[in-house]
Chains A and B, each alone.
Chain A
Amino acid sequence: MLVVKNLVFYAHDTESNAGATGRAIIDNISFTFEKGKFYAITGPNGSGKTTMAKLIMGINKADSGKILLNGDDITDLSITDRARAGIAYSFQNPARFKGTTCRDLISIAAKTEDERKIREIITRIGICSMDFLDKSVDSKLSGGEIKKIELATTIALNPMIAIYDEPDTGIDLWTIEPMVKLLKREQAEHGTTTIVVSHNRQFLEAADILIIIKQGKFVYNGGLNDAIPLLNDLSLCNYADICEGEYNARCYR
């Protein structure tokens, strides 16, 4: 169980190194993520979705509030210690490395160099080809390929809490459904608490609990059906002026 209490995060002016500015990106959020549930967090661009996810992983440090994992206060733990405590994070824009291969990353995540075990993980993940294993995770990979590897490394950790930030970015339409099924299977078989940040209809439909975040606050949590009026509210989207009326934008707008 993951609990966030009165979590606050201000915009930081990294350019001037002036520290926190007046605007709260995450504005006093309290919420309990129950063990083994599948959560989808959605909301307009700039509403705080990714910031929230990064606060849980420790990539962003909260300005105030607490984060508890199974009752233990992890607010001040480093990224490394949170990873070791069982939290995993799949990045929206995964890092690219020169020389480091997919095998290297999976080997680090799974803490094994055993060929058989690494192949078992790739087989279990399903959406990654065995050909990926010895590919360098560099700029030669397509956006879709690197996202699949990113997802594979997250699953290879066997995390207690798995956070996926926009997992469908760059993924072809045909891979999204297998990806959703994979996350659901991990949830069912390993009791993984799954938190997906997404606008994608299929992830929203797959979630046990949908959370809508707007201006740094959770404005809704519950089932998808009850959320439809809110999701249909075009004010949720910053790009409404651009895409209104667009056929099949693949989101609830």
Chain B
Amino acid sequence: MTPANTTSVKPQGRGIRQTMSDLHTWAGLLVGWLLYAMFLTGTVSYFKDELSQWMRPDVPHQRVLPDAAVVAQNVSHQLTTLAAGSPQWSVYLPTERNPVVNVFWRNAPTDVKGDKGGNRRGFEEATFDPATGQRLKARETLGGEFFYRFHFQFHPLPVLWGRWLAGFCAMFMLVAIISGVITHKKIFIDFFTFRWGKGQRSWLDAHNALSVFGLPFHLMITYTGLVTLMAMYMPWGAQVAIKTPAERAQMSAQLSAFPPPIKATGDKAPLASIDAMVRQAQARWGANDVGRVSITNPGDAAARVAVTRGEATRVSMSPQYLLFNGTTGELLDVKDNVGAAAETRGVMYALHLGRFSDLHLRWLYFLVSLGGTAMVGTGLVMWTVKRRSQLPDPARPHFGFHVVERLNIAAIAGLSVAMTAFLWGNRLIPADAAGRSATEVDLFYGAWAATLLYALGRPARRAWIELLWIATALLTLLPLLNALTTSRGLWHSVAAGDWVYVGVDLMVWALAALHAWLAIRTARHKPKLKTKPVRAAQVAAAAQTSDTPVNARLNEDRA
């Protein structure tokens, strides 16, 4: 509502709904732009693996998922030479969604000190073709991982800063949800209310419908988002209670699927059969439910092998693994349960990531999450729509209004342009260019900054329409660019039955259509000079659900 009336000394008589409405408005506005970006990149991250596949066209399409045990054996054999002297290898086995083998290994201690070769993070990575067991040379890119890391740490901000910022925004989101619900007295009735073509009313109805429709999801996703990083946000209990190394190990066993570290003896001993260990895990969990094989002290007499369960078949991220003696192959430990609180945390974590979901559920996640993005977006736009009618001279808004209006354009329409530019960069930057992964990210931020400059330089209405059309054009041409720059155009993908590539190309077109439609709606919209409050309150369009909000006008603009 309007900012507090400054002339009344005692703001008495302002009911809880009014104060909660103010809280909702201002908490939402302050972090709304970042929240919108977190929501949209998070939404896209439900298809992170698929997007990563699409962004590495040099990696051939895999038709069948090879046996995990054979793959683990082959890859660990290669690592004995490739990662010789490393204290730990982690082999992430192929899944249906990510059909390659990703391997990380810690650098040998001498490498880290020597500071030549090796990389600064202290570990190396490589990708293997599960079918041939050969190392894959793919273009250097973050792939879908970029949106994922942007979503919770604003990559490439320093990780600590980025995560605190994300947590701050998430906490505001939680408060905005609760205050929004308290504000909303007719939460059920309004869900079935949609007043078309009524300017501010329509925006309010759209915002309400989006919020109420997805309320359980929004609440869940916000809270579980905080839970994923809770040890960082709320470290105090652990600091008080966890002091000895034994307590630390006990705590970490509740949260982490990495077994406790063990000292190398220095005596050499060959690794036992990894294949046999993975088979034991497969017998326990199922053939395709082995997620990772971690080998500590490979080649040493104190070698340990942990075979960790995958993420796809249970709704929990709590640690489950089998621990083997690496030289004898003897099963040392079966980790299959954690305490109640730790399991709760594991379930919440899994609910946030949605990795357990099959394709249908994944689409539902995506759509509801897109609804959440639209909820934040409509909320932001409503702030300007509501205040525009109260401006003394709508043609010359005050500074604050001007700032919000322009940031809205760049944060909403501009983000679509920037994210698409990132994908364009993936196809246009030469595959062997040095530092191309960082260049892609630079392109994302460069494009985003450009849209902000554009939004500042054009009349608001024109800026909305033009940026939406630019996003439409970039999205529409992307599958064509893909067909021109790779041998995996839509036609080939269909012929080869490569449904990930087909899916990404078609999805991009669907999003292009959405943007075109929003652009047309905005362009056709004629703002009313004066609203008629009495009549507006009477007209209530009947039940419209998820698809109506995007129908709402994108912006009421100056005449």
User: Does A associate with B in a complex?
Assistant: no
